[in-house]
Amino acid sequence: MKIQICAIGRMRDIPEAKLANNYLERFNRIGSNFGLGPVKTLETEDKKSGGPTSEGRLLKNLIPTGSLTCTLDEKGHEMTSIDFANRLAEWRDQGKPSISLIIGGASGLSELKNEANCSISFGKFVWPHLLIRVMLAEQLYRAATILSGSPYHRI
């Protein structure tokens, strides 16, 4: 099952990008053994600062046709790392060809919140979108290690 991280903003040569890429490379190595991945990061920018509707439209254009969509939103469903790993495995086992994990910018997700197949939260805090990308990359890697039985995730 292919995975896309669809995000507003471009991570250039900054520490957050290096950290996120490190976790995604690790995920791709382990996940491929379990039918997960590769992960691709698809980025866009709202150069005209058109607000939530504009950002929503730009993000929508990144989502491949037929992809299951999951927004990352502070009002989404909170889950444990094990729940997330099991959800990925469930989608894979259901034969979903791809999943798009959507991270909005400062303006939010607009109508994508209502149109998404699911929405998950990393807690009630509001996180900067660059940190969410790192956290998501780490949780994808953690999910792959959980599914593989690796000792990386300890309870």
Nearest residue to 56 (alpha-carbon basis) of 114, 119, 122, 108: 108
Rg of the chain taking only CA atoms, in angstroms: 15
Position 46 scores a pLDDT of: 72
Domain 2-148 has CATH 3.40.1280.10: yes
Please identify every stretch of the chain with a pLDDT value under 50, giving residue numbers as ranges.
Answer: none
Position 127 scores a pLDDT of: 86
Q: Is the dihedral of CA 72, 27, 62, 100 positive or negative?
A: negative
- Beta-ladder partners of 151: none
- Beta-ladder partners of 99: 3, 68
Position 70 scores a pLDDT of: 97
Position 52 scores a pLDDT of: 62
